[in-house]
Amino acid sequence: MVFSSLNFLFLFLPLVMLLQWAAPEPLKNPLLLAASLFFYAWGEPVYIVLMLISVAYNYLAGRQIGGRRDPHRRRAALIGALAVNLGMLGFFKYYGFLVDTLNGLFGLHLANHALPLPIGISFYTFQALSYVIDVYRGKAKPQASLVSFAVYITMFPQLVAGPIVKYTDIERQLTDRRTSLAQCGVGLERVVLGLAKKVLLANNLGMLYDAVCAAGSRSVLTAWLGAAAYTLQIYFDFSGYSDMAIGMGRMLGFSFDENFDHPYLARSVTEFWRRWHISLSSWFRDYVYIPLGGNRVRPARHILNLLVVWMLTGLWHGASWNFVLWGLYYGALLVLEKYVTGALLKRLPGWAGRACTLILVAVGWVIFSNTDFHAMRAYLGTLFGVGSAGFADGAFLYYLRNNLLLLAASVACCGPVLRTWQLRLAGRRPAVALCLCAALLLACTAYLVHGSYNPFLYFRF
Amino acid sequence: MKKKRLLFLRGLAVLALAAVLLLDAGFVLLPDRAFSPVENRNLQQRPAVTLRGITSGRFESRFESYVNDQFPLRDRWVALKAALDRLMGRTESNGVFLARHGYLIQDFSMPAESEYAANLAALRTFSERHPELPQYLLAVPTALSVCAGELPAFAPAGDEDGYLDRLQRDLASVPLQFVDLRPDFAEAGKGPLYYRTDHHWTSDAARIAYLRLSEVAGLAGETGRFERRLLSNRFCGTLTAMSGFRTGERDDLYAYLPREGEVRCVVQYVDEGRKSSSFYQLEYLDQRDQYAVFFGGNHPEIRIETAVDNERTLLVLKDSYANCFVPFLAQDYRRIVVVDPRYFTGDLEQLMETERISEVLFLYNAATLAADTLLRQDLVRQ
């Protein structure tokens, strides 16, 4: 099930919320677990078995690691858990990719029985890993209740597209959480804003990017317009999803950390990654980058660390070489910023740093969005005038005119200004703020009922 | 937390719950609709629960469509979405351009090279198999190329003209004669050639095409036995439904009806086993798709016997553009067999033999001809 569908918003969510409020304390977790399993099974019931195996295995692994004193045995149990989790992720996500790559490199004809990707496997595997590693490090106590642990892994708000919640962050809330009507309101406000980002902005921006990509030839400006549209689309798509997840978590009594912090206001690529998909980058920082030595090593080793982490980050986003390239692109940019351009960037005025960062990020998204290398090369070429149909053309004016308001609204929503206004309005004129929320909800419903174009970019992961 | 903020938060929670429950009540209590006249399509009904359906995911996706299609006040929501689109300055929706002077114009999508080649090869094979028969291809340009001036400025429309040019070139060496209507349409100033809200051509455009074909095929070349009559001023075509634009606007629908006793015929709907003495089914004027007034829409096979005293028998392979065109031919052919390959399942060669076909006419609009994959299957079936 996806959040931006009528059956989720009008049937599943209200039913689950009413049950959660009405249920007595001991039934809350079992009900939430049942709801989450139903949510996952909807549309793809088979892989629920895989997720349940993962839950049961990691539950046992946590108890095993936590219950042992002997460091060697603890270590062995941890390595076992890492191998099983990464093995499962590797098999279901990367097997087909590996076979294709080997076939391509060596001209082999290995049979490719790649399975369809189990939804959310990258997210729930990473959550499970954070749990077993934190138990091993002594930061978390092993969870005694299988149901509570299963709720942590499968909880429907963050199950299929994050944010990646660390076990230590919600350990207490798994057994003790309170809600009130006002807390529900706080959550709902986030859900409405997230839904609007997704349905009103991201979906419409996506249609613009698709139209630009579908055109046989494009001018330089059209190509940049398309890249801008995709840059905005992926932000509103993913951050809208995160907003909804955080909001629904709040309605249930959980508080998840923020996943985005106005990333397109960043003045450097380093800062961009501190603001974008924060739960993923901090996961890699805590469980890969710092264990590798982080930046407290010789520069050569530091550069290697960065590149390894960013290659893995890229690969995490999808089993395709363009994601690896995209990861390495960021690895290289971060190394450059650290050792070469960083000092220069600091001396630039803020707007110039922002502009440079945005251009680099937009180019990155073009790499990210094209799994086909020929299409990617062609698109990147037209951005810089290679193989383009001139600098500007009629199509550019047409797309600009058709999407001017949408683009303007999207750009405005990239900063914190609108959110500040909205908060101030809700604090001073609650009736007006309510009408605003109602209008957004009406508009979203209208687009969902019409429902022609509604993809989730982050569902591949 | 401040008092007013608290008021807002609680208000939001209560309001949202009330709205959801109200709409859900509507969803449960209101009867399901089978058909949406506004969108001109069948709506999804409640899917049956089966284990197979659930494990394959088919049940779930149908259930989602069911919720969407039967959502309370669906038509209002669709209209609201279109209104928001227009408010945002959109001039395109679902492959339909919001053009000037009230026109809605469907985009043309160039067929993939392999598709084009397959269709061309089928036309050539068929044509060369029957060198003795006169064959004509009326590939009717759509409003997209004829009314290009009405499109929004710089609209990146498909190259329908280029497609027709190429087809004409590629067919130059076979007996099949490409009849180009574009010069005639460019000259025709009087009367609209296309409906504003529908993708079809008007009867006036069909008449111009008939006159052009008359010169090529040696037909009567005049339409004095028909009378131009207004059948409806409330026609709201399929492009409105597709795009959601201009849902309030209506077209005039004219037809050329035979004058009293002038063009007599028997129309036989083969698959339906029904006969009629008229080309028109006026009961469709009470329905949404009023263009179906011509022959009652598309049929796999129609046989028309006329009172014409000659031995000419014509096979028409066609899409819906032919429906308002074929009546003109009833003054020229003894018998007309109209086949719509999209629904026809018989053997074309056998049909041509038993009906002793002496001429063949392909009549398609450029968009359907480019996108069609079924005509070629009938043409080259062994």
Is the pLDDT at B75 greater than 60? The verdict is yes
**pLDDT over 80 at B261, yes or no:** no
Distance between first and last Cα of chain A: 15
Which distant-in-sequence residues (6+ apart) come within 8 Å of A458 by Cβ? A161, A162, A237, A238, A241
Q: Which one from A109, A277, A302, A317 is the annotated catalytic residue?
A: A317
Residues of chain A with C-beta less than 8 angstroms from the C-beta of B70 = none
**What is the ipTM metric for this complex?**
0.84
Residues of chain A with C-beta less than 8 angstroms from the C-beta of B14: 181
Q: Contact A426/B20, CB-based, under 8 Å?
A: no
* pLDDT, position B235: 92
**Cα distance from A347 to chain B (closest Cα, Å)?**
40
The residue-averaged pLDDT of A37-53 equals 88
Q: What percent of chain A has pLDDT over 90?
A: 48
CB A40 within 8 A of CB A138: no
| pLDDT value at residue A161 | 83
Beta carbons of B316 and B363 less than 8 angstroms apart: yes
**B8 vs A10: CB contact, 8 Å cut-off?**
no
Distance (Å) from the C-alpha of residue B88 to the closest C-alpha of chain A? 6
Closest residue, chain B, to A401 (C-alpha): B89
Count of CA atoms in the C-beta half-sphere (13 A) of B376? 18
- Indicate yes or no: CB of A442 within 8 angstroms of CB of B153: no
Residue type, A69: R
Reply yes or no on whether the pLDDT at B118 is more than 70: yes
- What sign for the dihedral angle of Cα A399, A401, A405, A407? positive
- pLDDT average, residue stretch A202-228: 90
Taking Cα atoms as reference points, which of A31, A4, A8, A7 lies closest to residue A243?
Answer: A4
Contacts of B80 in chain A (CB under 8 A): 442-443, 446
**Percentage of the residues of chain B whose pLDDT score is greater than 90:** 58
Q: Determine whether the interchain pair A184/B6 forms a contact, defined as Cβ–Cβ distance below 8 Å.
A: no
Helix then strand then coil, in percent of chain B rounded to 5, is: 40, 20, 40
What is the rounded average pLDDT for all residues in chain B? 90
Question: The tokens of B299 are what?
Answer: 């049929």
A458 pLDDT above the threshold of 60? no
Burial (Cβ within 10 Å: 0-12, 13-18, ≥19) of residue B329: buried
Q: Establish, for the pair of chains A and B, how many residue pairs have beta carbons separated by less than 8 Å.
A: 140
Q: Do B88 and A204 touch (CB under 8 A)?
A: yes
Res B38 pLDDT > 90: no
Above 80 in pLDDT, residue A94? yes
Find residue B265's DSSP bridge partners: B306
Residue B193 has pLDDT above 60, yes or no: yes
In chain A, residues with a C-beta closer than 8 Å to the C-beta of B61 are 43
Query: Does A442 contact B64 at a Cβ distance shorter than 8 Å?
Result: no
By percentage, how much of chain B surpasses pLDDT 70? 97
Q: Which of B64, B105, B242, B92 is nearest to A207 (CA)?
A: B92
The answer to whether the Cβ–Cβ distance between B11 and A430 falls below 8 Å is yes
Two structure tokens written together for A392: 């500007």
Q: Closest-CA residue in chain B for A185?
A: B9
The residue assigned the tokens 């490719």 is: A112
CB-CB contact of B221 with B214 (8 Å): yes
**pLDDT for res B52:** 83
Provide mean pLDDT across the span A82-90: 91
The CA distance from B82 to the nearest CA of chain A, in Å, is 9
CB atoms within 10 A of CB B38: 17
* Tens-place pLDDT, residues B197-224: 999 999 999 999 999 999 999 998 888 8
The model's pLDDT over B79-107, given as tens digits with 9 standing for 90+, comes to: 888 889 888 888 888 788 999 988 999 99
Given a cut of 90, is residue A47 above it in pLDDT?
Answer: no
**Which residue among B23, B63, B154 places its CB closest to the CB of A10?**
B23
Specify whether A277 is catalytic. no
Residues of chain B in contact with residue A438, where contact means CB-CB under 8 angstroms, are 15, 19
Contact criterion met (CB < 8 Å) for A45 and B55: yes
At residue B120, does pLDDT exceed 70? yes
Judge whether residue A412 has pLDDT over 70: yes
Q: Which residues does chain A have within 8 Å of residue B5's beta carbon, measured at their own beta carbons?
A: 426-427, 430
Instruction: Pick the closest to residue A372 from A317, A325, A309, A315 (CA basis).
Output: A325
If you average pLDDT over residues A269-278, what whole number do you get? 92
pLDDT of amino acid B135: 95
DSSP element (H, E) containing B92 = strand B92-93
pLDDT of residue A234 exceeding 90: yes
Do the beta carbons of residue A254 and residue A173 sit within 8 Å?
yes
CA angle B25, B28, B33 (to 5 degrees): 125
The whole-angstrom distance between A44's CA and the closest CA on chain B is 6
- Tens-place pLDDT, residues B156-192: 888 999 999 999 999 999 999 999 999 999 988 656 8
Q: Which residue has the higher pLDDT, A225 or A426?
A: A225
pLDDT at A440 > cutoff 90: yes
Q: How far is CA A434 from CA A85, A110, A444, B1, in A?
A: 45, 59, 15, 17
Among chain B residues, the shortest Cα distance to A11 is held by B24
Nearest to A382 by CA among A224, A230, A233, A210: A224
Q: Is the pLDDT of residue A19 over 80?
A: yes
Please provide residue A250's backbone torsions phi and psi, each rounded to the nearest 5 degrees.
-65, -40
Confidence of residue A425 (pLDDT cuts 50, 70, 90): confident
Q: Using an 8 Å CB-CB cutoff, list chain B residues near A10.
A: 20, 23-24, 27, 67
Residue A130 confidence (pLDDT): 93
Minimum distance, in Å, between the CA of residue B75 and any CA atom of chain A: 9
Predicted pLDDT of residue B254: 94
SS3 labels along A362-393: HHHHHHHHCCCHHHHHHHHHHHCCCCCCCCCC
Name the minimum distance, in Å, from the CA of A356 to any CA of chain B: 30
Test A184 with B244 for CB contact under 8 angstroms.
Answer: no
Q: Please, what's the b/e burial string for B187-201 (b: 16 or more CB within 10 A of its CB; e: otherwise)?
A: ebeeebbbbbbbbbb
Looking at residues A195-213, what average pLDDT do you find?
A: 92
Over residues A5-16, the pLDDT tens digits come to 888 999 999 999
| Residue of chain A whose Cα is closest to the Cα of B244 | A450
Residues of A in contact with B60 (CB under 8 A): 42-43
What residues in B contact A395, CB-CB < 8 Å?
A: 154, 156
- Mean pLDDT, residues A141-160: 91
Measure in Å the smallest separation between the Cα of A294 and chain B Cα atoms. 41
Selected for mutation to probe chain A from B2, B12, B70, B96 (highest A CB count within 10 Å) is: B12
Distance of residue A159 Cα from the nearest chain B Cα, in angstroms:
19
Contact B13 A188 (CB under 8 A): yes
Residue pair B289/B297 in contact by the 8 Å Cβ criterion? yes
Residue B289's pLDDT is: 84
Contact of B135 with B360, CB cutoff 8 Å: yes
Residue B40's pLDDT is what?
Answer: 65
Are A446 and B81 within 8 A, CB to CB?
A: yes
B287: CB partners within 8 A, 6+ apart: none
Hey, are the CB atoms on B23 and A449 less than 8 Å from each other?
no
Residue range B320-343, pLDDT digits in tens: 999 999 999 999 999 999 999 989
- Chain A contact probe: residue of B3, B5, B8 with most A CBs at under 10 A: B8
**Interchain contact, B5 vs A430, CB within 8 Å:** yes
CA–CA separation, A438 and A217 (whole Å):
42
Residues from chain A that touch B44, judged by Cβ atoms under 8 A, are none
CB–CB contact B154 A397 (8 Å): yes
pLDDT in tens, A325-369: 999 999 899 888 888 887 788 888 888 889 999 999 999 999 999
